[in-house]
């Protein structure tokens, strides 16, 4: 009887493990590159038709108060992959320049030491999910370092096909440098096809292979290149642009890229349905920061690279059948690093001690139907001798910029002035309110000093 009891206990344990693996949801995160707040139909685009992406909002939740943690690519991706303010890493408060170039003093120092990128011991999200039993894959734009030691396969991902730099030609998959940038795992590759389509092909292939492993939950990270320059439509000229042409393009071409991206998202969502994976999959779509022209950030002020709302307020939506009620619109303030917190919580993963997330779980906030709460967020962005700072606390937002020895400051009340037209620093009350926010900002800077 003792032997039979032991066998029964073992079988029970195996069954519980099996059920536990099945109960964990899959996570798919699709990240657009340089997409503006108003570049989707569901966020007010006057010209782009994006029914597939919009469907995620219709079948789930649309966030209207969602922020990137930086106004450029690398800092936002750092925040997402670590769940922490990018300032904690060092050297990544600005996008890594084409050809592995540092663009401000700290980044230049690290580049000279061949250390400009996200170190594997500071990566949090993928390692935490992997430890929780997930198979992790990333297909698309990495932009977390050119050096071999910054490869996604050393940061918790099991599969990687994509490019290391910040912008590549969509047909030839090269950038304006001599470095190889398109990789499969650790090896440079050459392929034919339009980048947006190839990224989707790889993601779909992964989903199809995971169909045969229903007990293995997965995290699929799909950081697209579109609609980042060079602005090329899949039906447009395939000639490699010159350096001058690299950042030239029309809104018409940009819209073609948006609509093509939407079609590719539709292909991925269709695969989830066909594989019967959709019911147990959280799908989130967002942008890494605001757009530059010809993108649209309406109604917010300014563009990519600034800490006005147009540079950091981004579209975000999430669908999770049976968990998130369809058709929700949430005004809760959220961030990319908050998504990281959400994903780890949903997966049942715990980040390493001392690497706890700076973000707040926004997905479970919506699922539990909590009242929106007030949060304080901080930003700092650097390039050359230019530095931006911003802090939002409740509806008050303080912005500061220094460049060429000159300083500019603003204070806005986003509840009354969401377009940031009225600088309230001109009043005594505004100066007093700004002083409180500046004190918070100084305290934050002392807490997020980089460790390298």
d(CA 106, CA 103): 8
Active-site residue, selected from the candidate residues 15, 94, 114, 143: 143
Token pair of 258, please?
């948006």
d(CA 255, CA 367): 33
DSSP secondary structure string for all residues of 123-188: --HHHHHHHTT-EEEEEEE--S-SSGGG-GGGTT-SEEEEESSS---TTT---SSSS--EEETTEE
Would you say 329 and 366 are in contact if contact means Cβ atoms under 8 Å apart?
no
- Closest Cα to residue 177, out of 194, 163, 195, 191? 163
Strands 218-223 and 26-32: parallel
Annotation marks residue 224 as catalytic: no
Segment holding 198, helix H or strand E: helix 195-211
d(CA 118, CA 81): 9
End-to-end CA distance of the chain: 60
Residues 6+ apart with CB under 8 A from 118: 78, 81, 82, 89, 92, 144, 145, 150, 155
Segment holding 366, helix H or strand E: helix 362-367
Active-site residue, selected from the candidate residues 15, 18, 73, 94: 73
- Dihedral of alpha carbons 272, 274, 277, 278, sign: positive
User: Cα separations (Å) of 332 from 62, 80, 369?
Assistant: 10, 18, 11
User: Cα separations (Å) of 54 from 111, 124, 225, 285, 301?
Assistant: 40, 30, 19, 10, 23
Would you say 70 and 91 are in contact if contact means Cβ atoms under 8 Å apart?
no
Residue 421 CB-density burial (10 A; 0-12 exposed, 13-18 middle, 19+ buried): exposed
Segment holding 337, helix H or strand E: helix 336-347
d(CA 4, CA 6): 5
Annotation marks residue 143 as catalytic: yes
In 252-403, at which residue ranges do the beta strands (DSSP E only) sit? 281-287, 316-319, 328-330, 334-335, 376-383, 386-393, 396-403
Strands 218-223 and 135-141: parallel
The catalytic residues are: 73, 143
């Amino acid at each position: 009887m003792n032997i039979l009891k032991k066998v029964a206990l073992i079988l029970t344990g195996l069954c519980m493990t099996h059920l536990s693996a099945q109960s964990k949801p899959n996570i798919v995160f699709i990240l657009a590159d340089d997409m503006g707040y108003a570049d989707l139909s569901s966020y007010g685009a006057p010209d782009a038709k994006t029914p597939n992406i919009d469907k995620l909002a219709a079948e789930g939740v649309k966030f209207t108060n969602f922020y990137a943690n930086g106004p450029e690519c690398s800092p936002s991706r750092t925040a997402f992959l670590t769940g922490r303010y990018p300032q904690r890493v060092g050297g990544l408060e600005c996008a890594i320049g084409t050809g592995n170039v540092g663009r401000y003093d700290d980044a230049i120092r690290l580049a000279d030491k061949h250390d400009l990128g996200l170190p594997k011991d500071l990566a949090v999200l993928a390692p935490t999910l992997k430890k929780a039993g997930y198979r992790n894959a990333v297909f698309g734009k990495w932009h977390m370092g050119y050096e071999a030691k910054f490869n996604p396969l050393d940061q918790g991902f099991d599969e990687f096909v994509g490019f290391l730099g910040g912008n590549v030609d969509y047909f030839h998959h090269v950038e304006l440098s001599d470095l190889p940038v398109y990789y499969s795992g650790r090896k440079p590759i050459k392929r034919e096809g339009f980048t947006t389509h190839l990224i989707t092909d790889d993601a779909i292939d992964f989903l199809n292979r995971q169909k045969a492993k229903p007990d293995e939950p997965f995290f699929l990270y799909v950081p697209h290149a579109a609609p980042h320059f060079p602005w090329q439509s899949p039906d447009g000229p395939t000639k490699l642009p010159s350096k001058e042409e690299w950042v030239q393009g029309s809104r018409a071409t940009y819209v073609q890229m948006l609509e093509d991206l939407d079609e590719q998202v539709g292909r991925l969502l269709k695969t989830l349905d066909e594989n019967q994976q959709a019911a147990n999959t959280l799908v989130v779509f967002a942008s890494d920061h605001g757009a530059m022209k010809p993108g649209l950030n309406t109604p917010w002020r300014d563009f990519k690279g600034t800490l006005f709302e147009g540079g950091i307020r981004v579209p975000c939506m999430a669908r999770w059948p049976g968990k998130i009620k369809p058709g929700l619109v949430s005004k809760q303030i959220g961030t990319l690093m908050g998504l990281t917190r959400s994903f780890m919580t949903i997966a049942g993963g715990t980040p390493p001690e001392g690497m706890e997330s700076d973000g707040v779980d926004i997905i479970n906030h919506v699922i539990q139907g909590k009242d929106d709460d007030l949060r304080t967020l901080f930003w700092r962005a650097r390039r050359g001798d230019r530095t931006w700072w911003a802090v939002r606390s409740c509806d008050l937002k303080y912005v500061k910029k220094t460049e060429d020895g000159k300083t500019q400051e603003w204070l806005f009340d986003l509840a009354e002035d969401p377009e940031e037209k009225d600088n309230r620093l001109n009043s005594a009350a505004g100066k007093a309110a700004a002083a409180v926010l500046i004190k918070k900002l100084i305290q934050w800077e002392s807490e997020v000093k980089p460790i390298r």
